[in-house]
Amino acid sequence: MFFPADQPTVVDSLLEQYHPLAEALSSIIEWPGKTLNLLPGADLCHALAQGQIARVEGGIIHVNWKERTAFILQKGDFITHFNDYDEQALSYIVEESASVACINSDALNTQLASDQHALQQWHNLLLMQSAIFSNAYGASVKQGIRPAAGFQRYVAGDTIIKEGEPAEHVFTLLKGAATASVRSVPLGAINEGEIFGALAAITGEIRNATVKAQSNCTVMAVPKEQFLDLIKSQPETCLQMIQTMAYQITTLNNMVSSRVESTL
């Protein structure tokens, strides 16, 4: 078993313990000998009967949540997710020709009940799976990221950011109005809800523009490191930033066009 995305080292460490545990348990279980051979594109959900437990004998199986691959199963991995098809949200899609060995859950329980060592190994395997998925989920969940934002207030004429200075924060104008300029040449207005100061934070360069409060303003300041984490985890923040930049570029283009026309 492995995951398509990067995972913390604790998940890799747990997987290193999981694979030999699964192999040892598989050698203890007496498999009935029934093997399913699956073609690429097949969904294992439709091949197993309810109550069956399977072990991957060969090939690769992608476990998908809707259109996204959650994790990938390989030789030696157990599949124990088939109690109720009506509530089965995951699909088990065969990536290349694969084969799985099957056993009925009642038959497995009978074997485990007569072998305390095997029963303990099975419990350890399930606990290991739970630890792996819990840590993988915790590392991949995005909605929980909350930046340590600070709120700052400025009066008309105050400088919010100054060109030439390092970019330590990214700002969102919550209330009021502000203007941006380069070398005292006006670039345009910054309106409520717009993100500014992001470009220098992303590139690591110094500020290339100055922003001053045009009226009494309230801004939210997010440390640049947390802002970068935020745009990686929450696409809507990235989209909002792109929309703001697109608006600013359009405004600047209109200003340049007007100045060119005035000189003709």
- Looking up residue 197, the CATH number of its domain turns out to be 2.60.120.10
Residues in the chain: 264
pTM: 0.55
Q: 85 and 124: one domain?
A: yes
Q: What is the pLDDT of residue 227?
A: 81
Q: 230 and 107: one domain?
A: no
Q: What is the pLDDT of residue 235?
A: 63
Q: 184 and 135: one domain?
A: no
Residues near 165 by beta carbon (within 8 Å), at least 6 away in sequence: 206, 207
Residues near 217 by beta carbon (within 8 Å), at least 6 away in sequence: 153, 154, 155, 158, 160, 173, 175, 176, 177, 178
Q: 36 and 104: one domain?
A: yes
β-bridge partners, 80? none
> Would 1 be classed as within a structural domain?
no
Burial of 183 (0-12, 13-18, 19+ CB in 10 A): exposed
Residue ending a domain, choose from 140, 163, 182: 140
pLDDT (tens digit per residue) in 201-243: 888 889 989 999 999 999 988 888 888 777 766 666 666 767 7
How far apart are the two ends of the chain, measured CA to CA in Å? 68
Q: What is the pLDDT of residue 68?
A: 82
Residues near 32 by beta carbon (within 8 Å), at least 6 away in sequence: 102, 103, 107
The whole domain housing 45 covers 9-140
> Would 4 be classed as within a structural domain?
no
Q: 13 and 134: one domain?
A: yes
Overall domain count for the chain? 2
**DSSP output for 114-170:** T-HHHHHHHHHHHHHHHHHHHHHHHHH--TT-----EEEEE-TT-EEE-TTSB--EE
What is the token pair recorded at 5? 């995305």
pLDDT (tens digit per residue) in 66-118: 778 888 999 989 887 555 555 567 888 998 889 998 888 888 889 989 999 88
Residue ending a domain, choose from 140, 159, 177: 140
Residue ending a domain, choose from 140, 168, 189: 140
Cα 156 to Cα 174: distance, rounded to the nearest angstrom: 15
> Would 2 be classed as within a structural domain?
no
